[in-house]
């Protein structure tokens, strides 16, 4: 037994030592660099031997990728000129940023000659999304700088999430042209094709490495020991720094770290906690600000401590954006139906889906408690988002999110929803985040006469992406108290080819059609996603949960309890590492149905 442990430790050390070089190569595949080749006369035997060895290694590393030729060509070119791992990483990311920047310049040129209003708006949106892609590469580089054996698994999980986000942002750029008649869509496709392929290759290699680490059982046992120590008030452990409030120098608030599981409840129900907020917003003038956006201007730059904004009861007619630079922001309201932020931007009035949100959350470690988010445009206005979330490790507790089509845009990164109510009609929970909903209620509203209702439309484009929607211990009902209306309602449809949604121990009301799912129809009429999606129903209950008449797609899966455990929070997005510290109610494993 001792010998086995020793051998295992040796293998782990080998992985730890070799991974740094591997990640350098992974990053390198995301770029293409024009480098002049040396003259054949100056290439000696040692050079030839080194090049041959590099080619062999690169081919091995590119094996898991979907675009092998591009992977090998770009990586061999870079690896043949710089061998020091850290320098390879700097070169790869600097060139990636430059290439995306060049793409933004080309987008500007397209914008100057474009005449169609929707296409011009799509081009503007693309520039923002390409900037976000650059940001994900930059943060991945920062993560790799601290890469060592102690945080091996943690950084691999994060790298997968961030690289997945970079892919989604580029895909979202292209989505913006779907309802335009301009040829700008095709031009943007050409601009982004190489970067999207390279991003996919990088994610594929990182995913393959993460799988190897998982196979060596470097997963949850050590994490659980750490979490147990944290629960015993061992707040000096550095893992706290990786959790929802940021880094190890972050001040953990009294309501989150008082050692009590009811810390959040104390915040919600005790006025003296609310008075300790950094700023108070009130419509009646009793706070420092009357508008939420004015309060957000006071979030410190490069903020590493939680910044609590208490928003008193009232209806706030404003479009709110928590930007990428506004990290660790906490919104606390007086209830989802009392403190409400509302707007009505929509597709019919000329705004693309990405730009319609009443509230947009981009700053990492965001927390919302007892807040209502609404888009009141109505079903006749089609796509109209209440809130778009792309903040990593964001949490929503006891919130109401209301709209009709495309209510909640769970766009990217890791997201957790607990005890929330989400209402809508068509695809009203959509996006490509790594998202889990616990103890939430999904309310299907009555749509227009010619419309069908779909609860989820998950947008996983690449099979290597870690994203998906997990609905755990929730309820799916209608707004007519579960009385089935004439319009048909479905659990999901595959927005992108590798759409992934899991319904676990959830109450499914009678409104859901027996076949359960509907395919995605492309503009040319082609039905897609049935074979490549990943849809699971596991231990659900209620009159709509009978699976005997479900569609017989290849993408409909049946899981055992063992395989279903992959989608439990402690495994799917390592929720124990960043949710527990907030004291928001959270189940890391299985949870019972609400009914």
Structure tokens at 560: 């055992």
Contacts 24+ apart (CB under 8 A), 4-9: 8/216
Structure tokens at 193: 């094709």
Model's pTM, two decimal places? 0.85
- Roughly how many angstroms between the first and final C-alpha of the chain, as a whole number? 47
* DSSP string covering 439-459: S-EEEEPP--TT--EEEEEE-
Q: Report d(CA 124, CA 130) in Å as an integer.
A: 10
Residue 233: alpha-carbon gap to chain centroid: 30
Q: Report d(CA 98, CA 31) in Å as an integer.
A: 10
- Judged on CB neighbours under 10 Å (0-12, 13-18, 19+), 450 is exposed
Residue with tokens 């063992």: 562
Domain 262-582 is classified in which CATH homologous superfamily?
Single-stranded right-handed beta-helix, Pectin lyase-like (2.160.20.10)
Three-state SS sequence of 504-535: ECCEECCCECCCCECCEECCCCCEECCCCCEE
Instruction: Tell me the HSE value of 433 on the side-chain side, using a 13 A CA sphere.
Output: 30
Domain ranges of the chain: 52-217, 262-582
Structure tokens at 411: 């766009």
Q: Report d(CA 231, CA 132) in Å as an integer.
A: 35
349 is catalytic: no
Residue 229 pLDDT: 36
Per-10-residue mean pLDDT for the chain, 595 residues long? 46 43 42 39 60 72 84 72 50 65 87 87 94 91 73 85 95 90 88 86 82 62 39 33 34 36 40 69 93 96 89 97 95 96 96 97 96 97 97 97 98 98 98 98 93 96 97 93 74 97 96 96 92 97 95 94 92 92 89 69
Q: Report d(CA 202, CA 533) in Å as an integer.
A: 22
Residue with tokens 């008449």: 549
CA dihedral sign, ordered 576, 393, 247, 359: negative
Q: Which of 305, 370, 308, 301 is nearest to 335 (CA)?
A: 370
Residue 20 pLDDT: 43
Q: Report d(CA 191, CA 158) in Å as an integer.
A: 27
Report the top-level CATH class of 52-217: mainly alpha
- Helices and strands of the chain, counted as H and E runs: 14, 28
- List all residues 6 or more positions away from 107 whose beta carbon is below 8 Å from its beta carbon: 123, 126, 127, 130, 188, 191
Active-site position among 334, 427, 432, 577: 427
- List all residues 6 or more positions away from 255 whose beta carbon is below 8 Å from its beta carbon: 263, 264, 266, 267, 273, 583
- List all residues 6 or more positions away from 463 whose beta carbon is below 8 Å from its beta carbon: 498, 532
Asked whether 392 and 420 are in contact (CB, 8 A), the reply is no
Q: Report d(CA 46, CA 39) in Å as an integer.
A: 15
Structure tokens at 278: 């950094």
Residue with tokens 């006025």: 271
Q: Report d(CA 552, CA 530) in Å as an integer.
A: 9
Structure tokens at 67: 């675009």
Q: Which of 481, 438, 426, 449 is nearest to 573 (CA)?
A: 438
Rounded to 5 degrees, φ, ψ at 501 are -140, 135
Residue 276 pLDDT: 78
- Judged on CB neighbours under 10 Å (0-12, 13-18, 19+), 52 is exposed
Residue with tokens 């949710």: 579
Strands 426-431 and 408-410, bridge-based pairing = parallel
Asked whether 370 and 414 are in contact (CB, 8 A), the reply is no
Instruction: Tell me the HSE value of 469 on the side-chain side, using a 13 A CA sphere.
Output: 33
* DSSP code, position 300: P
Helices (H), 370-413: none
> What is the chain's Cα-based Rg?
24
């Amino acid at each position: 037994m001792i010998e086995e442990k020793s051998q295992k430790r040796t293998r782990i050390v080998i992985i730890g030592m070799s991974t740094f070089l591997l990640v350098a190569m992974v990053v390198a595949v995301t770029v293409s660099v024009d480098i002049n080749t040396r003259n054949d006369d100056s290439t000696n035997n040692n050079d030839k031997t080194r090049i041959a060895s590099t080619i062999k290694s690169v081919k091995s590393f590119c094996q898991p990728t979907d675009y092998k030729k591009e992977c090998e060509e770009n990586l061999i070119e870079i690896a043949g000129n710089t061998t020091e791992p850290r320098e390879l990483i700097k070169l790869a990311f600097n060139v990636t940023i430059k290439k995306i920047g060049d793409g933004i310049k080309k987008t500007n040129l397209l914008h100057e000659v474009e005449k169609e209003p929707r296409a011009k708006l799509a081009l503007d949106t693309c520039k923002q999304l390409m900037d976000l892609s650059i940001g994900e590469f930059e943060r991945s580089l920062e993560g790799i700088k601290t890469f060592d054996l102690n945080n091996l698994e943690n950084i691999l999980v994060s790298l997968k999430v961030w690289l997945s986000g970079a892919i989604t942002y580029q895909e979202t750029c292209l989505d913006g042209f779907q309802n335009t008649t301009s040829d700008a869509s095709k031009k943007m496709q050409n601009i982004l094709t190489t970067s999207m392929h390279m991003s996919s290759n990088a994610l594929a290699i990182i995913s393959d490495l993460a799988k190897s680490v998982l196979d060596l059982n470097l997963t949850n046992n050590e994490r659980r020991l750490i979490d147990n120590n944290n629960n015993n008030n061992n707040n000096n452990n550095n893992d706290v720094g990786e959790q929802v409030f940021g880094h190890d120098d972050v001040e953990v608030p009294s309501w989150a770290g008082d050692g009590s599981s009811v810390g959040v409840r104390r915040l919600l129900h005790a006025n003296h906690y609310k008075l300790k907020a950094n700023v108070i917003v009130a419509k009646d003038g009793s706070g420092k600000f009357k508008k939420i956006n004015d309060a957000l201007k006071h979030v410190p730059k490069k903020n590493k401590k939680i910044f609590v904004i208490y928003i008193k009861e009232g209806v706030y007619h404003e479009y709110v954006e928590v930007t990428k630079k506004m990290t660790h922001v906490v919104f606390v309201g007086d209830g989802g139906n009392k403190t409400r932020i509302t707007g009505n931007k929509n597709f019919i009035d000329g705004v693309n889906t990405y730009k319609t949100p009443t509230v947009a959350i981009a700053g990492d470690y965001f927390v919302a408690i007892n807040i209502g988010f609404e888009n009141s445009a109505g079903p006749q206005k089609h796509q109209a988002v209440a809130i778009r979330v792309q903040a990593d490790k964001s949490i929503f507790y006891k919130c109401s999110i209301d709209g009709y089509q495309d209510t909640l845009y769970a766009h990217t990164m890791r997201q957790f929803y607990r005890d929330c109510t989400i209402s809508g009609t068509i695809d009203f929970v959509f996006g490509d985040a790594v998202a889990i909903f616990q103890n939430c209620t999904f309310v299907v509203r009555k749509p227009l006469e010619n419309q069908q209702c779909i609860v989820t439309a998950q947008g996983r484009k690449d099979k290597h992406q870690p994203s998906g929607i997990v609905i755990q211990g929730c309820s799916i009902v209608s707004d007519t108290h579960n009385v089935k209306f004439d319009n048909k309602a479905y659990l999901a449809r595959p927005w992108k080819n590798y759409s992934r949604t899991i319904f676990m121990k959830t109450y499914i009301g009678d409104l859901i059609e027996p076949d359960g799912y509907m395919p995605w129809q492309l503009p040319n009429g082609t039905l897609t996603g049935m074979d490549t999606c990943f849809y699971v129903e596991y231990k659900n209950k209620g009159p709509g949960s009978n699976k005997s008449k479900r569609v017989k797609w290849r993408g409909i899966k049946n899981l055992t309890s063992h395989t279903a455990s992959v989608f439990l929070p402690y495994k799917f997005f390592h929720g124990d590492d960043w949710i527990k510290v907030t004291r928001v109610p959270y189940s890391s494993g299985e949870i019972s149905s609400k009914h």
